[in-house]
Amino acid sequence: MSSERVRPGDDAWQVFAALHRLLLRLAGRFPDELITRTRTMLARSDLVHLPDTVTGSAARLRVSLTAADVELLRYVLALADGAAGDPAATDQLTISTSVPATDHRFTPVPPGAPAVARVSADLADDLLVDAMNEHLGVMTIRRAWRSAPHEESEDARRVYFVEVEPHVRAWELTGDAQHELVLIDEESPQVEVYWTGDELPPYHRTALADAALLWPRSPPAGQAPRSRA
């Protein structure tokens, strides 16, 4: 199944959108490299290997999935592979009823940088904004610096948050953004593309509360611009 012919509202759209939201829920819980790799798989319509990769990794890393997540991956595997069966290590998974919060901290600037640099953009920021502006339906682009309690300040990672309209193939934008950032040697780029109005996981809500706004789409004539908060 290829996402190139997917249209909002059809069955294929529901599958790709559900998988994209699943990978959003794993942000900050899976290692960055694995998040980037699985999102690349989805952007390339690699639905044959994606379910096994997610369930096998979740079991190995002891990252919980919901029963609905497992059922989705089981359905996708049967759809893509043509045979009924469970994805890898399903019997070893921890099943939860909700998405847990992570212990990450987010700041609008790198730890130790002056607060006046809140909306200061660099090459990576400019490249990401330019790449996303080639797509219709992008609403806002934000960036936060993520760190964890056990990490040194120099280990902080930038994470991008791209808000898009409901008809946009968010998984494809994610793949494009990751590719552009890899070209400038950004390791395992973290780009969270989400549909406006969606209920977001705790990871994203925490980050967006203190992310820097890099780019707002120009509002229609007569409408006030979006807040930069």
- What is the residue extent of each domain of the chain? 3-96, 105-216
The CATH fold of domain 105-216: Alpha-Beta Plaits (3.30.70)
Pick 210 or 4 by higher pLDDT: 210
Mean pLDDT score of the chain: 90
Please report the pLDDT score of residue 7 as a whole number.
66
- Rounded mean pLDDT of 163-167? 97
pTM reported for the whole predicted model: 0.90
- Mean per-residue pLDDT for 130-140? 95
Nearest to 140 by CA among 196, 197, 203, 186: 196
- For the ranges 13-22, 110-119, 158-167, the lowest mean pLDDT is seen at 110-119
